Structure 1
Amino acid sequence: MLEVCVDTIDGVIAAMNGGAGRVELCSSLSEGGLTPSAGLMHAAAAIPVPCYAMIRPRSGLFEFSDAEASIMLADIAMVREAGLAGVVLGAQNAARGLNVPMLATLMAAAGDLGTTLHRVIDVVPEPLVALSQAIDLGFERVLTSGAEPFAQDGTKLIAQMVTQAAGRISIMPGCGLTADNVAEVIAVTGVQEVHASCNVRVAGDLAFSDFDPPSGRFETSEMRVREMVNQMSGKN
């Protein structure tokens, strides 16, 4: 299973056409992925590939205020209204560990929606403790780079997570994975699903302000999705 993170409706379509099994729907991937708009949620729900919406009200790390938690609850309600398949969540406490009470509230709001714990697990002091907490909270899966900048460098911890999970939760490596390294990461860790952006840089347009990044912006590439799916299935 390949999950592709996207922040446009064209990205959803490219991921689907390339063979992705699931989409992580975001806005502002340049900020690490924020909550998508209601319009994007509704548009993605009409496309026949499961989409999980990122629930993250701002950039930065994940110690959220009560006011921000209320926004996240409203966004989860919008995910349900739009008819998406699931949500992607994460929250930290003042000690940088998982904020278990807040996550329990968000999980209760998610109800029967699918749930992924995002890469908050890569910035907590004890990722394996956080993994046990995620299992107890009822998450379906954890997205992780193995507490390294790139998942291909975090395979030791990812493999430990797979062993500890023992089938109770899926461990999904993500960040830095491409068609060139995905097969090796799967082989070393024993995971069953991975996460990638599969994007390419496109030239920006000249403007009097920063409407378009001078160095170009990123778009999901159907070709890169297909290349990665082929590597995962041995059709290289």
Structure 2
Amino acid sequence: MKKAQLEIACFNLESAIIAKNSGADRIELCANRNEGGTTPDLELTKTARDKVAIDLNVMIRPRGGDFVYSDFEFGQMKSEILALKKLQVDGFVFGILKEDGTINEQQNAELVALANPLSCTFHRAFDGVKNKFQALESLIGCGFKTILTSGKITNVVDGIDVLATLVEKANNRIVIMPGGGLRSTNIGLLKEKTNAVFYHSSAIIDTSEIANPEEIKALKAHL
């Protein structure tokens, strides 16, 4: 069985370099940790791409808050994908919902097509959908390669049963990536119960916004 992999959410260049040096398999680059992650600027992304040789996925999210976007914001997301694609990044992370808590299939599919041939991850907007199993099928249909989710709004431990069922129902058609409160202290349990193949953490364990190298190594050690 293929060894599970680890993605580190990085909110600055220092974290991205620490993640790479500490054995992370992939970086999710974002800005604004307090808002749950938004699109990083071009300059940060370009520098990170130059300094980090592992896979680099970039968040596409124009603002914090909900995941229902105006036409202007949707246009902004399209522009960001086109601009960031030129920097040789490896993939994008985004998610758009409708007002009723279902997947906005039309808009998501349009962004996936725009990102092609780069892979796309549907982020934790998934935790806000009403019917997760219906949403799973919608996202496979849109062309996403990965879903980042805690299983529930709270964290991966509370959502562990949902995560296990999602992995089973996905049946290798899409990667279910547990994230949200994932730490070296619980990743072993998550791996045992869910059989997921990719895991997501910020590896931030204090009040700074810097990933902790020892936490990344500890996360990797449990995989």
1:80 corresponding residue in structure 2: 85
1:188 corresponding residue in structure 2: 193
TM-score (norm 2): 0.95
Q: Does 1:26 align with 2:30?
A: yes
- How far, CA to CA, are the matches of 1:147 and 1:97 in structure 2? 15
2:138 corresponding residue in structure 1: 133
- SS of 1:16 mapped into structure 2: helix
CA deviation after TM superposition for structure 1 residue 148, in Å: 3.5
- SS of 1:219 mapped into structure 2: coil
Count of residues paired in the alignment: 218
1:108 corresponding residue in structure 2: 113
Give structure 1 regions of 4+ aligned residues with deviation exceeding 6 angstroms. Answer: none
Q: Which structure has the bigger radius of gyration? A: 1
Q: Does 1:52 align with 2:68?
A: no
2:218 corresponding residue in structure 1: 227
CA-based RMSD of the aligned residues comes to 0.9
- SS of 2:222 mapped into structure 1: helix
Structure 1: where are the runs of 5+ without partners? Answer: 202-215
- How far, CA to CA, are the matches of 1:92 and 1:167 in structure 2? 24
CA deviation after TM superposition for structure 1 residue 200, in Å: 3.2
Structure 2: where are the runs of 5+ without partners? Answer: none
- How far, CA to CA, are the matches of 1:227 and 1:53 in structure 2? 24
CA deviation after TM superposition for structure 1 residue 15, in Å: 0.5
- How far, CA to CA, are the matches of 2:208 and 2:214 in structure 1? 17
Q: Does 1:142 align with 2:130?
A: no
Would the aligned equivalents of 1:172 and 1:194 in 2 still touch at CA under 8 Å? yes
CA deviation after TM superposition for structure 1 residue 3, in Å: 0.3
1:15 to 6, 13, 19: 19
- Higher RCO (CA < 8 A, seq sep 6+): 2
CA deviation after TM superposition for structure 1 residue 94, in Å: 1.8
CA deviation after TM superposition for structure 1 residue 217, in Å: 3.2
1:38 corresponding residue in structure 2: 42
